[in-house]
Structure 1
Amino acid sequence: MTTQTRHVDHELVQAAAHVARSRCRGDNHTVAAAARARDGRIVTAVNAYHFTGGPCAELVLLGTAAAQGAYELDTVVAVGDRERGVVPPCGRCRQVLLDYFPALKVIVGTGDRLRAVSITDLLPESYIWADHQLDTEQTRRELQ
């Protein structure tokens, strides 16, 4: 990894695990996520599974955080139901998390090997959505 591993926020892992145990029931909700906002608050959410590709817990978390006025997130973790432990974000979530919070830390690993890493370490040499927006604006100006 290119970025040094950071301190693991165990309170955040416990918050996600609690939601996974108490709120994830059946096949519709199988993963819980928790994020620490820059102001110290913890925001939680669960996935909304659907055969059409319903949103992962991390994506639901982004909307939940915004609805609660937590626009700056520092660290995120996802935990599976049935005591599956920490679940790393899927590729789509990695890209979205990077686009929203390029300095975000993500807790990954298992058991006593949990670690907090930069989202950029999980998605090296990624597509930068903001660059696309700048290219689109530049092209629009050139065409005018």
Structure 2
Amino acid sequence: MTTQSHPVDHELVEAAAEVARTRCRGDNHTMAAAARADDGRIITAVNAYHFTGGPCAEMVVIGAAAAQGAYQLDTIVAVGDRDRGVVPPCGRCRQVLLDYFPAVKVVVGQGDRVRAVPVAALLPESYVWADHQVEDD
């Protein structure tokens, strides 16, 4: 399967990397995420690690975006602390991103292989959460 890549939003990657460098401290916050809203704003967040399954940085950035009135995201990236670079979303985050923003692009890869791909490319044969949509009669 060939996946179409999109230009990488390097400003977005750097925003996440800056938050990872300056705000991720200790074991509670180890990942940063940045998302570009459809109006151009960049929203950032960090994960809230907890043994009970605290939210990933991507999930926190979705909530932070909504709290700021940004309900459509164009691109998202996660970056690890300790200079780990771009980290792909976990399975749960992939599914949530697909459900909330089916057209969102996700930055993945390392070094010269960093690329932005449609979230659907990260979940081939994905589950479609259709029961939350209201059908018009």
Q: Do the aligned partners of 1:75 and 1:106 also contact (CA within 8 Å) in 2?
A: yes
For the pair shown, which has the larger CA radius of gyration, 1 or 2? 1
SS at match of 2:16: helix
Give runs of ≥4 in structure 1 deviating > 3 Å: none
Structure-2-length-normalised TM-score:
0.95
Give 1 or 2: higher helix fraction: 1
- The CA deviation string for residues 41-96 of structure 1, in whole angstroms up to 9 with x for no partner, is 00000000000000000000100000001111000000000000000000000000
Aligned amino acid, residue 85 of structure 2? G
Match of 2:126 in 1: 126
Structure-2 separation of matches of 1:82 and 1:108: 18
* Aligned 1:85-104 pairs, distance under 5 A: 85-104=85-104
- The CA deviation string for residues 83-122 of structure 1, in whole angstroms up to 9 with x for no partner, is 0000000000000000000000000000121000000000
In structure 2, runs of 5+ residues without a counterpart are: none
Q: Do the aligned partners of 1:2 and 1:121 also contact (CA within 8 Å) in 2?
A: no
Aligned amino acid, residue 132 of structure 2? Q
Deviation at 1:3, TM superposition (A): 3.6
Match of 1:83 in 2: 83
Aligned amino acid, residue 103 of structure 2? A
Deviation at 1:28, TM superposition (A): 0.1
Structure-2 separation of matches of 1:2 and 1:113: 15
Deviation at 1:2, TM superposition (A): 4.1
Structure-1 separation of matches of 2:91 and 2:132: 21
Structure-1 separation of matches of 2:101 and 2:27: 29
In structure 1, runs of 5+ residues without a counterpart are: 139-144
**Identity within the alignment, %:** 78
- The CA deviation string for residues 9-36 of structure 1, in whole angstroms up to 9 with x for no partner, is 0000000000000000000000000000
Root-mean-square deviation (CA), in Å? Answer: 1.3
> In the comparison of the two structures, how many residue pairs are matched?
135
